A and B are shown apart, each in its own frame.
Chain A
Amino acid sequence: MILNGVMLTIALSFVAIALGLVLATLMSALRSLAGSWAGYIVDAYVELMRNTPFLVQLFMIFFGLPQIGIRMNGLEASMLAMTLNLAAYATEIIRAGVDSIHKSQIEAGLALAMSRRQVFQYVVLQPAFARVWPALSSQFVLMMLASSICSFVSVQELSGTAAIIEQDTFRSFETYIIVTVIYLVLALSLKLFLNWLGRRIFPQVSGLARVTEAHGEAA
């Protein structure tokens, strides 16, 4: 039963990280390529998500949307909320990386007859990602930990499983200790995995100074 919970926590986090990252990359591209109005919409979205609790976002999707006719089960709502939340934070982090790319690099790219899209993809985005990877990694770990909140809409992930076992056995202390240790192991493994992945994908910058400090921002 705990194992199922673990698998669901991992699956939820994986989907949210993958989809959130794609969405964030698109929003970052929109911000720097398209006209200013698209940038304003992205900025407004990021500010809105970053300044309201994840729990409110989850409840808005789970309880609020059915009122206007969009119905989802707990799992779908959790997945959507996590993706949307992570996308906002990742957009903000990627922005720091994009801002750190020197203008002369872009001019150089354009001078080599690259299209604006090519310049964004190869000259701006790749180095930007490499530089903010540590900050992104810690955001992913925080999202994994925040997935515990999805138990509030009765999703049986790790903390949801813990609550059920606790109700059945009344051995709260043991249950929560075990589950907490599992979270700890998950978080540390995810951290190590992401570090390894970062070195694999961005070998060229492993020696360079990173722009953003990996300051924790819980969702």
Chain B
Amino acid sequence: MQTFGWPEAYFILRAASWTIALTAIAFVIGGLFGGVLAIMRLSRLKLLRRFAAGYILVIQSIPVLMVLFMSYYGLSAVGIELPPFLAASASLAIYVSAYLAEIWRGSIESVPRQQWEASASLALTRGQQYRYIILPQAARISLPPTVGFLVQLVKNTSIVQVVGFVDLMRAGMLVNNATYQAFQIFTLVGAIYFAICFPLSRLSRHLEKVMNASRSH
């Protein structure tokens, strides 16, 4: 039996970069869809509003694990074989899109209504209103909760190991299968997750404080 030593620790540490890569991809793709969904949710067309609301409700009410199972095992049963990395990033992006859409919708709605009215009276089109007046303000408001959500995403990437993708969590499990020194291994794995997440949590809280201070002026 192997023992848990520096090579194993290095292997785990290197797998952490896959966790970060997966987070980044899921965040960017999910963010794009989430942005579109947020705007659809606020659209003047009932059909678009309904569709976005339904999608968000469903995705937020089912476990990410089920989305992952369906996109990996489910799709392969109907003949579509996704490689693990693709299935993992697609599932996480779906999860991200629903949560970011809600966070961003809240931010857009918290821009005072007078801003819409004032920009409409300047004869701006709806697209121009979003681009020049509403979104820049909404982006500022949405920054703290978005960074906070990033922490949730980093942690949730840990479940992609079920499809065999070697992220931080999977690396820990592989080393555990070889050495059976679970306590040390999962302490290290947990510490690495903590090292990624804690600064983000702090940043989110800091941003929140800064913005509350600037709003009270």
A-side residues, CB < 8 A to B, are 47-48, 50-57, 59-60, 63-68, 141, 145-146, 148-149, 151-152, 159, 162-163, 166, 170-173, 176-177, 179-180, 183-184, 187-188, 191, 213, 215-219
Contacts and interface: CB of A to CB of B under 8 A. Distances in A.
B49 interface: no
Interface in B181-210: 181-183, 185-187, 189-190, 193-194, 197-198, 201
B134 interface: no
Interface in B63-114: 63-67, 69-70, 73-78, 99, 102-103, 106
A55 B183 CA distance: 14
Question: Which 10 residue pairs spanning A and B have beta carbons closest together?
Answer: A63-B182, A187-B61, A51-B197, A148-B63, A53-B158, A53-B155, A64-B183, A172-B77, A172-B73, A67-B183
Contacts of A177: 70, 74
Contacts of A191: 61
Interface centre among A48, A63, A188 (most CB of B within 10 A): A63
Interface residues of B, number: 48
B70 A51 contact: no
30 contacts: A47-B201, A50-B151, A51-B193, A52-B155, A53-B154, A55-B169, A60-B183, A63-B182, A63-B186, A64-B183, A65-B183, A146-B63, A148-B65, A149-B63, A159-B63, A172-B69, A173-B74, A173-B75, A173-B77, A176-B69, A180-B62, A183-B66, A187-B62, A188-B61, A215-B102, A215-B148, A216-B99, A216-B102, A216-B152, A217-B148
B159 interface: yes
Contact of A171 (B60, B64, B77, B162): B77
Contacts, number: 140
B145 interface: yes
A218 B64 contact: yes
A67 B181 contact: yes
B187 A183 contact: no
B45 interface: no
A48 B58 contact: no
A68 B183 contact: yes
B66 A179 contact: yes
Residue from A48, A54, A215 whose CB has the most chain B CB atoms within 10 Å? A215
B70 A216 contact: no
A53 B193 contact: yes
B156 A218 contact: yes
Nearest to A163: B69
A51 B176 contact: no
Contacts of B145: 215
Contacts of A52: 155, 190, 193-194, 197
Contact of A55 (B76, B154, B158, B185): B158
Contacts of B185: 64
B34 to A, nearest CB: 13
A99 to B, nearest CB: 12
A176 B66 contact: yes
A52 to B, nearest CB: 5
Contacts of A179: 66
A159 B67 CA distance: 11
Contacts of A180: 62, 66-67, 70
Contact of B187 (A53, A64, A213): A64
B190 to A, nearest CB: 5
B195 to A, nearest CB: 9
Nearest to A142: B60
